[in-house]
Structure 1
Amino acid sequence: MEFQSCVKIINEWDIVAARQLGRNVAKELGFGTVDQARITTAISELARNIYLYAGQGRVCIEKLYENGKSGLLIIASDEGPGIPDVRKVMEDGFSTSGGLGAGLPGVKRLMDEFDLDTNVGKGTEIRATKWLR
């Protein structure tokens, strides 16, 4: 964990900036274009959720080096309202914003590891990892 870079999510342009950061780091680590697209899509979903539901937060990208493997960790965090029903938001097709509902289940599918920590009234942190094959 020697490198960590964050983008504050306050407006829609920040979602674009977070995607770009993720794509650049993924490229540096040697991810192919398909995995780069998976990573940027996951970042998009997470950043958009921060923007829509928490108002503001941040997306951090970290390079991982573990047991001879390289990977990328996305940490999306906010101090928003939290998620009252985690089971519900992890259901495919569930959406409170009128979106496709690919949201968090989609992020979980796109990435190799997914961890959600939320406290109602305090905020949410999601950590999603993609390992280089």
Structure 2
Amino acid sequence: MKDYGAASASVETVPVAGSGDVVSARQMVRVLAQRSGLSLVHQTKLVTAASELGRNMLIYGGGGVVSAASVADGGRSGVFVEFRDEGPGIADIELALTDGWTSGNGMGLGLSGAKRLVDEFDIVSGADGTTVRILKWGR
């Protein structure tokens, strides 16, 4: 996935250290989705994915930073969101993306559910943390 955040002139960020920060990140994503002209359905899908990923970042990665930007490419517009933490990483990404698998007490739909809700999804994880990038295009 292209790093649209690096290519964007205007990136907004929210440090996430508590559940209130996840709410702030979700609100930032919603505003960008509205400004980018995403339909209400696409806004809801993107905000839901952002909420799940932000919550996962807080619980499993100890917090981090959410960065987001409105983007345009090839005549279409959308919203790019990056979730970056410095936690212990995900040992088996393929397993973590399997519906129903959880390392905690959840339903095991966070990563896989978020992936289904967006148009582009990328995850990189190691001992120095995890970065998830998502993008939702307007239709």
Q: What's the TM-score once normalised by structure 1's chain length?
A: 0.96
Write out the 4+ residue segments of structure 1 that deviate beyond 6 Å after TM superposition.
none
Three-state SS of the structure 2 residue aligned to 1:37 is helix
- Deviation, 1:23, is 0.5
The answer to whether residue 96 in structure 2 is matched with residue 89 in structure 1 is yes
Three-state SS of the structure 1 residue aligned to 2:115 is helix
Deviations 1:20-77, CA, capped at 9 Å, x for gaps: 0000110011111111111111111111011101112011111111111111111000
The answer to whether residue 12 in structure 2 is matched with residue 5 in structure 1 is yes
Partner of 2:70: 63
Matches within 5 A, 1:64-79: 64-79=71-86
Unaligned runs of 5+ in 2: 1-7
Query: What root-mean-square deviation, in Å, do the aligned CA atoms of Structure 1 and Structure 2 show?
Result: 0.8
Deviations 1:78-118, CA, capped at 9 Å, x for gaps: 11101001111010011122112111111110000101111
Tell me which of 103, 127, 134 is aligned to 1:128: 134
- Distance in 1 between the 2:79 and 2:9 partners? 12
Three-state SS of the structure 1 residue aligned to 2:101 is coil
| Corresponding residue pairs, total | 132
- Distance in 1 between the 2:37 and 2:51 partners? 20
- Distance in 2 between the 1:125 and 1:43 partners? 13
Task: Name the amino acid aligned to 1:83.
Answer: I
Partner of 1:30: 37
Unaligned runs of 5+ in 1: none
- Distance in 2 between the 1:98 and 1:9 partners? 21
- Deviation, 1:9, is 0.7
> Does the 8 Å contact 1:7/1:17 carry over to 2?
yes
